[in-house]
Amino acid sequence: MVEKVYVTYNEVHKLCQASADRILNDFKPNLMIAIGGGGYVPARILRSFLKRPTAPNIPIQAIGLSLYEQLPSSNPSNPVEAPGTKVTRTQWLDLSSLEMANLVGKNILIVDEVDDTRTTLEYAVKELQKDVQTAADKLGTHEKTQFSIFVLHNKDKTKKGHLPKDMMDDERYLAARTVSDVWICYPWEATDIDEHDRLAASQAKY
């Protein structure tokens, strides 16, 4: 049976708060790209902690990627999901607009909720790097665009996906917390938030 761990909104808020100084001082993001749907809420919370006096809020753009698939379950009211084998785009940046040009030369923070197999993060980084390079070529510029990653939870397991060596060497990857290979239930997935919080209160904190 898959072990489930329930995380509350308060816990997510505090994980973002605890990570903000490192992100602000080391990554210096000009823009965030949230991977939907799990990266939306952490990115929005994080933006409040990254706000500097007199500076505008850091913009958030969104992409949608799907890797997980639902598995058969003996309890239909308690479905279990597992990583699939193929990343599917459900939403992407508009390559025909100014969006891509606005990414060139920026420090971009990619935000997601969990690093499980790393397949989704690998796909996001590779595709965004490729698209930004295409935009830079069109603009005729050699400005460097730097990507960093923030996740709430990193699962301590062998990864199928890989991130760029320079990103890992430069420590431009940050997980607020590393956990064992459990199924993490986030509050935005809950249909009964009171029951979700009750289950969270009854177990060890992650």
pLDDT at site 166: 96
The residues, ordered by sequence, that sit 6+ positions from 153 with a Cβ below 8 Å of its Cβ are 7, 113, 114, 115, 175, 176, 177, 178, 179, 184, 206
pLDDT in the model for residue 71 = 46
The answer to whether the pTM exceeds 0.85 is yes
- Cα gap 12→104, rounded to integer Å: 30
Mean pLDDT comparison of 72-86, 124-138, 188-202, highest-scoring range: 188-202
Question: What's the mean pLDDT in 19-37?
Answer: 96
Note the pLDDT of residue 70. 47
pLDDT > 90: percent of the chain: 72
Catalytic residues: 116
Whether residue 185 has pLDDT greater than 50: yes
Give pLDDT, residue 204. 61
Inter-residue contact 51 to 29 (CB < 8 Å): no
Quick one: pLDDT at residue 82?
54
Q: Are 84 and 69 in contact (CB under 8 A)?
A: yes
Confidence of residue 2 (pLDDT cuts 50, 70, 90): confident
What's the confidence (pLDDT) of residue 88? Answer: 84
Mean per-residue pLDDT over the chain, rounded: 89
Range 9-14 average pLDDT:
98
pLDDT tens string 101-136: 788 999 999 999 999 999 999 999 999 999 999 889
* Mean pLDDT for the stretch of residues 167-171: 97
pLDDT-derived band at 98 (thresholds 50, 70, 90) equals low
Tokens linked to 38? 């799990």
Residue 12, pLDDT > 50, answer yes
pLDDT at 19: 98
pLDDT in tens, 33-76: 999 989 999 999 999 999 999 889 999 999 998 875 544 555 55
Strand partners, 107: 146
The pair phi, psi for residue 9, each rounded to 5°, is -60, -40
